[in-house]
Amino acid sequence: MNDRIPYSSLVHTFTLIDGTTKRLEITKYLSQYLMKVINRTPNELIKIIYLCINRLCPDYEGIELGIGESILIKAIGSSMGRTPTQVKADFKKVGDLGLVAQNSRSTQKTMFKPKLLTVNSVYQDLKTIATTSGHSSQAKKVGIITKMLAACEGEEAKYIIRSLEGKLRIGLAERTVLVALATAVVTTGTSNPTKRKSKETLSTEILEGTNLVKSVYSEIPSYDLVIPALLKGGIQGLRENCKLTPGVPLKPMLAKPTKSISEVLDRFEGQSFTCEYKYDGERAQIHYLEDGTISIFSRNSENMSEKYPDMLDQMKKSIKTDITKSFVLDSEVVAWDPICKKILPFQELSKRKRKDVKRSEIDIKIKIFGFDLLYLNDEALIKQDLKYRRMKLKEHFNEIEDEFNLAKSLDSDKVEEIQVFLDESIKASCEGLMVKMLNGENAYYEPSRRSMNWLKVKKDYLAGLGDSLDLVVIGAYFGKGKRTNVYGAFLLGIYDQSTESYQSICKIGTGFTDEVLESHYQKLKPLELLQKKSYYDTGDVKPDVWIENRIVWEVLAADLSLSPIYSAARGLCGDGTRGISLRFPRYIRERDDKGPEDGTGPDQVAEMYERQVCTQTQGSKGKLKKKEGEDDDFW
C-alpha cells in the first residue's frame, strides 16, 4: 500500500468477507486489512470505513447514496459499449446489476490499460455523485459512473455498482465494522506500541477496547471525529479525545413494549420508577450551542431544522439563557390545536414539507414536550440518573403555554393510580405511557439501545400483540373491483442488518381508506422496480410489482405465527427452519420519520413471538436463538 491505497485491495477484502457467514471470520478479515491501513496509510482509514458501511459522511450531514436503476443501466451500457436493452436483459437473468457490470467488464476488450482506481478516487467520485443536483445532474452522474466503470478490473465493477445502489450485500454489519476497527487499533499497538502483549492480555484489551469504541460511537456517531481520536491517542485516549458534543446527534434510547401494567410492576419491583405520557408525535433531539445556534434532529439523525422553523422560535423563548449556554434535549414534537388545547393526530405532522418550510405557510401549529436532558453547559448527563436529569430539565427551561411543556409524569407504584394515569393519557390524545427507571445506574441514558429500563404501555397493546411494527414496503399487488386503478395489497418486510437483506413478513390489505390507497399509489408507483432486488429475501412470495425499499409503515397485528412462506427472523424461533409472519395485519400510518433500516428488525420480531408463546403457555420459557457473535440491539 502506497500513499494512495488501490481500490482492489479493499475489493479483495470484500470478496473474502462475502465468502463466509461466520462473524468471527468476517471480523478477522476486516481487522487485518485495517491494521495494514493504520500502519501504512492512516489518513485513508476514514474513507475505508465509510466505504465498508456504504456511507460517505455522518448521517446528520444528509448525503446519501442510492442511485436509481435507470441511471446505473445507462452508465453500464455506456461504459461497456452495450445498449440499455441488453443490460436490462442481463439484469432480468441475473437479478444483480453489480454482477451485470462485472460480467460486462470481463468480456470487454480495451486498447489501453486504465488508470488504477484508488480508495481515495472511488470515495471522492461517490461523494461527487451523491451531491450532484440541478440541471443536467443525471447526465453528469452517468458520466462519472461511466468513467469509474471503465477503470475497473476484476470484481471492482460489482462493488462500485453495489455502493451506488446503497448495499454491498456481503453481510458486513456496522457493529462488526466497529469491532474490527477496535481490534485493529489495539492489535497494531497504537495504544501501547512498545510492549509485546500475551495472547490473554491482548484478548482482554480487544474486548475492553471494543466496548469502549461502541460506547463512544453511540454517544458521538461520527467517524470523522472518532477515527482521528483513535489514531491520536489510541483506545486509552478515546474517551478524553472524543466526547458527546452539541451539534452531533447521538442515537436515541428506545423502550421495550409491555402488554400490561402488572408486567411493568414485575419488571420494576423494588425500584423507583416514573410514568410519563407517551406523546403521539415525532422524536426531536434539540441541540443548543454556545453561539446560540439551535439544531433539531430526528430519531435517525436527519437534520429537521428547515422542517420546523417554528420549533426554533419556540425553543428560544423556553431557554433560561442566563443560566444555560449549551444543551442536548430529548423531546417529542406534536401537532397542536391552540384553540381546543389538544394534540392533533400524527398524520398532521407528516403533511409538512421536509425542507424549506416558510413560517408564513405553516397552518398546523406544533408543541414541544421535553422529557430528558442529555447534555448541559459543557457536561454530558447520560451517566447521571433520570431523577437528576429531570431536575436539571426543570431548572433550565420555561414552560410556555401552547409552545413548550415538560412531559407530564407520575411517580407511583400503585396499579390503580397508574391505570388512572394511563386512561388520562389516552383521553389527552396520547398513545399511552412510558415507564422509566428513576434512580441509580439503571436510570442512566443508554444511547442506541432498546432498553428494559424504559418500558412502554400503549392502548393498542393491552389486548393484542404487545407492540406495533415498523415495516418496509417491498412489493405491491394490483387492486381488484373498486381498487382496480391502485394497488390493493402490499408485501412488507423487515431489514436484517447482519445480512444486509430485507426479509418478507406479511401481505397486507387492511386498514386503508380509498384516499390512502390513492396516496400510496402515487408515492409508490415511481418506486416500481424492473426486477426483484438481490437482497430481497422473499422465497417463493412474488407480488405483482417489486417496490424500492424506501417507505416505512406502522402496522398492527392480532398475533405472530411461524410460517413456511415468509422469511422474517428465520432461524431464530421454533425449529429454526421457518420464518415469522403477522396474522391479520392492519395498516396504521406511514412513518416518514424512519428510514428503511430503522424499522423493526429480526431480533425484535423473534422476541415478540417468544413473549407471545410464553404468555400462551402460561410462563413456559421460550428461548431465542442468537446468531454467532451477536449482541443485544444495535451493539
Q: Which residues contact residue 481 at a Cβ distance below 8 angstroms, ignoring those fewer than 6 apart? A: none
> In whole angstroms, what is the distance from residue 261 CA to residue 141 CA?
55
pLDDT score recorded for residue 469: 95
**Topology of domain 254-458, CATH:** D-amino Acid Aminotransferase; Chain A, domain 1 (3.30.470)
CA atoms in the 13 A half-sphere facing the CB of 320: 11
Q: Do residues 377 and 327 touch, judged by C-beta distance below 8 A?
A: yes
- Selecting among 74, 141, 278, 594, the annotated active-site residue is 278
pLDDT score recorded for residue 626: 47
DSSP structure class, residue 400 = B
pTM, two decimals, is: 0.86
In the block, residue with C-alpha cell 479525545: 241
Closest CA to 16 of 126, 168, 164: 168
Dihedral angle computed from the Cα positions of residues 95, 97, 103 and 104, in that order, rounded to the nearest 10 degrees: 130
End-to-end CA distance of the chain: 32
Closest CA to 572 of 554, 557, 586, 560: 560
> In whole angstroms, what is the distance from residue 23 CA to residue 25 CA?
5
Catalytic residue list contains 278: yes
Length of the chain: 635
pLDDT score recorded for residue 628: 43
pLDDT score recorded for residue 114: 75
Cell (9 digits) for 344: 392533533
User: Could you report the average pLDDT of every consecutive run of 10 residues in the chain (635 residues)?
Assistant: 83 97 95 97 97 95 88 94 94 92 78 83 97 92 95 95 93 94 88 64 92 95 97 93 95 90 90 96 97 96 94 97 98 97 92 87 95 98 98 98 98 93 95 96 96 88 69 96 88 93 95 93 94 92 96 92 95 87 93 91 93 66 45 48
- Residue 292 CB burial class (10 angstroms; 0-12, 13-18, ≥19): exposed
> In whole angstroms, what is the distance from residue 460 CA to residue 611 CA?
17
Q: Any idea where the domains of the chain sit in the sequence?
A: 254-458, 469-616
CATH number given to 469-616:
2.40.50.140
pLDDT score recorded for residue 258: 87
